Structure 1
């Protein structure tokens, strides 16, 4: 064998070994892997809880007697239906005027087709002016809730026979 033939035979053998090497491991038996040990868990008894600390309130120092207010706030819950109707009609008229001026139903709510009813707690001062108001039951739409509060706060000169604290339903309906 000549030197050139020997080199050629050596190159072919090395090439063959290189190309077969990845497949040889499939034919050689692999040692079996042992499965991981099983996980064992157990419950331990709970530690006893420390006894609860008794709750006590410090006795406050006796306070000086507060002077009773000169004008007691009264709620007129014993009104006849006719008296209730008078102030309620007045409130309805004022809300209707706001609606006619376009101040009652927000244009954005009309464009979105939003309807609902807001229950507003209205507190009146001694002069019949709205002192405070808040949403007691929402319509589900923030824009309608805010419009109802704005409408109630814009009420002026509610009749004196109106109760000082009342729930006022404000309805928003599209026609």
Structure 2
């Protein structure tokens, strides 16, 4: 029995040596650690400004002559045509009307409900003169892309807002679980 044990020990020793020796040789052949890098900050060299700078020479006689010449008067503009301004809703009423219309198209994403995600998204709606929604952008994210994307889709689904008159509107969209 001792001879079998001796043979097993020798085979184990050879097998481990074959597997571990290449790693030992790599470590021995690897170069030593390079020296640490050092960096120093230097101020950029001071260069004089170019000769043809944008500064004006006020002592030059040619510029004195140019200033003394009279300039022609600007053309007379025709008086502006008075038109009645379009009827605008006050900003607060406009936001409330937009929120009412948005609530018809807004849905709480099922994945957000399942994960218990809540938040508030602030959208910037760019409206055309006719009141249609031209562009929607996130002004302040809720921190969850699911809620941000749901708010954007609902804003585009609104289509048109009454009293838009071609401007931008910041619209808060609140997602709360009850």
TM-score using structure 2 length: 0.49
